[in-house]
Structure 1
Amino acid sequence: MLHMIISGLLCGAVLGFVLQRGRFCLTGGFRDMYVAKDNRIFTALLIAITIQSIGVYALIAFGLVQFTPGTFPWLATAFGSFIFGIGIVYASGCATGTWYRAAEGLVGSWIALFTYMLMSAVMRSSHFAGFNTEIKSFQTPANSIAETFGLPVWVFIGLLVVVTTFFVTRELRKPKLAVASLPQKRTGLSHVLFEKRWHPFVTASLIGVIALAAWPLSEATGRMAGLGITTPSANILQFLVTGDYKFVNWGVFLVLGIFIGAHIAARGSREFRLRAADGATSVRSVGGGLLMGLGASLAGGCTIGNSLVMTAMMTWQGWVAMLFTILGVWTASYFLYVRRPAKARLVTQTA
């Protein structure tokens, strides 16, 4: 139990610190692909996936960790991920983004986080057992992409390396944009950790290493999985309501650690500040959090569980989930950032 607490909190704290200091949130990254035609965060995500994929399958080859891809519930994955994608735009953050922004003092993120946890817990209750069983019955027996094509998984990892290298090279060749920065007030390690702007590719590399380390750390406690946010978030609420310790595992301490690490980073960089949400933001946060919990529960994971971890494991669930999450983000972004400003300009011109 002590090992579970220490390793879970430590892994989560390091992840939360990196996420907060690197401002790494896939909601903005997926949105910017459509709204700003900026693929930097998506490219960074590919870096994290690649590092994790190479590392975990090397650990599997040496018999140090285990992984079973299971079946592929295609309907629940696609539909749930699309709903989740819409939700994270209205909540102004993905699962990890909501956790680390709550640690920065954003009340809107606290609202989204609570409703996300609530809906995730509700979806795991007996009230939705029939619905979950029915929608997840639409599945294929093979979730492994390598198994589907009858090829070694390293063929697909090699392809991922090539694709990632292409995107990274293309991004690095682009002209660097001038970014305003505050005057340097610290020196040495303090400047690097709390003041210097982190490059998204550096942040992604660190996340990939952390995601890799999560596998043996988690499996050492009997939890046979890597990083995950949705189920542990639901487990926290279920434990608080029932007091049943069956809901307490390594993942619970992971997400609590994310909050702690992000709070330390926010305090150290002087970015912590309690910021109240107005009425419109609060309503969006409630709706976004509910959609996040619903979608991630159906899809079997969020942007971390599916778009980072299951993609690295070369599963259909991971890559299909990421595709439909992006489509959901783009759909919500159209109504919030594209269509609405266009209507506002039209009203101004005709007034």
Structure 2
Amino acid sequence: MIFTGLLCGALLGFVMQRGRFCLTGGFRDMFLTKDYRMFYALLIAIAIQSIGVFALIQLGLIEFKAGAFAWLGTIIGSFIFGIGIVLSGGCATGTWYRAGEGLIGSWIALFAYMLMSAVMKSGVLVPLNDAFKVYTLPTNSIPATFGISVWPFILILAAVTIYLVVKHLRKPKVAIPALRAKRSGLSHLLFEKRWHPFVTAILVGLIAMLAWPLSEATGRMSGLGITTPSANVLQYLITGNSEKYVNWGVFLVLGILIGSFIAAKASREFRFRAPDAKTTISSFSGGILMGFGASLAGGCSIGNGLVMTAMMTWQGWTSLLFIILGTWTASYFVYVRPRVQAKKQQSTSITTA
């Protein structure tokens, strides 16, 4: 049953690669170009997963415990993680699937992310990580906080998502040059035609829902997760302890890499691309911040931003907010401020001349 993680991950990697499901770019574009399309896509995936998973819980097929809310670690860690994903050029899952496309910079970011995650979870920074876990609130579940059923919250999420999606789809469409089809039928749909973010989000939501029963069947009581499994890969390579570190989650992240590679090769998008020195440093630094922040926050943009939000937890929605704020902060210093300074220098040069 543990190999179902490989299948689930391969499906996720394939879908994300073909749909260019990039939360880093989506959060960044919200700030830079006021483009909320990828954020709406995330809401679709969250809503679908939430409906499906809580239906499975009511049927008694899976279990879920929200636990306590480590608010300080969630806030600080998520903000740092948001900065890291801008520097590395992709979030945790995005780094895995872009590594499958042959991006050497993503491999560098991925190694740094795995390294720091392992250091935070079983290395010298464990005391620091644990110190933040002391600051907790007893109730993590939003419905439990208000003493009501989860379904009104799911209904509100679904209604808001439908409203935003319909409003977006009614906007005048910008003409995009169509690719000249070199294939036909299913092959064209899978590997040439542009995948709409909303269609991709539906598939991501369904895969995220599927992950719960598949994972729990192996004794891992959780859904999609990237940070701990990424750390486990490195921990296994160092210690050789398969019993402790090789689990459903490890096969999940390896599956993402495989699925993305298959999609990239079939769509002729795979090629090795080496970064320059500046990008290499940025990728490594971003990966370190990602691993540190995600470990502190108890999850990344998938574990918190997609899964724990769907489970209607304070941790999930708080984390999502601060990941976005971290992304916007980094985007200002990486993209906006250099442009402003360049314009000022240009204006000064013209005036002086």
Fold match by TM threshold 0.5: yes
| Corresponding residue of 2:236 | 239
| Corresponding residue of 1:301 | 299
Mapping of residues 232-271 of structure 1, within 5 Å: 232-245=229-242, 246-271=244-269
| Corresponding residue of 2:341 | 343
SS across alignment from 1:116: helix
Q: Is 2:119–2:126's contact at 8 Å kept on the other side of the alignment?
A: no
Mapped pair 1:41 → 2:47 = no
Mapped pair 1:11 → 2:16 = no
TM-score relative to the length of structure 1: 0.98
Could you tell which deviates more after superposition, 122-131 or 281-290? 122-131
Matched residue count: 348
Mapping of residues 88-237 of structure 1, within 5 Å: 88-237=85-234
Shift of the 103–126 alpha-carbon distance from structure 1 to 2, 3 Å rule, reads closer
Could you tell which deviates more after superposition, 129-138 or 323-332? 129-138
The one-letter code sitting in structure 2 at the alignment partner of 1:209 is L
Could you tell which deviates more after superposition, 188-197 or 171-180? 171-180
TM-score relative to the length of structure 2: 0.98
CA apart distance, 1:93: 0.2
The one-letter code sitting in structure 2 at the alignment partner of 1:219 is E
Q: Deviations over 1:109-167 (max 9, x none)?
A: 11000000000000012422321222111110000000001111101111111111111
CA distance in 2, matches of 1:67, 1:213: 14
CA distance in 2, matches of 1:350, 1:182: 44
| Corresponding residue of 1:314 | 312
| Corresponding residue of 2:275 | 277
CA distance in 2, matches of 1:236, 1:130: 22
The one-letter code sitting in structure 2 at the alignment partner of 1:289 is G
SS across alignment from 2:225: coil
The one-letter code sitting in structure 2 at the alignment partner of 1:71 is A
Mapping of residues 318-329 of structure 1, within 5 Å: 318-329=316-327
SS across alignment from 2:61: coil
Unaligned runs of 5+ in 2: none
Unaligned runs of 5+ in 1: none
Q: Deviations over 1:181-218 (max 9, x none)?
A: 32111100100110000000000000000000000000
SS across alignment from 1:224: coil
| Corresponding residue of 2:70 | 73
CA distance in 2, matches of 1:325, 1:4: 31
SS across alignment from 1:124: helix
CA distance in 2, matches of 1:121, 1:201: 34
SS across alignment from 1:254: helix
* Aligned-residue CA RMSD (Å): 0.7
| Corresponding residue of 1:291 | 289
| Corresponding residue of 2:60 | 63
CA apart distance, 1:176: 0.8
| Corresponding residue of 2:83 | 86
Shift of the 278–126 alpha-carbon distance from structure 1 to 2, 3 Å rule, reads closer
Q: Deviations over 1:265-321 (max 9, x none)?
A: 000000001101000000000100000000000000000000000000000000000
SS across alignment from 1:303: coil
| Corresponding residue of 2:329 | 331
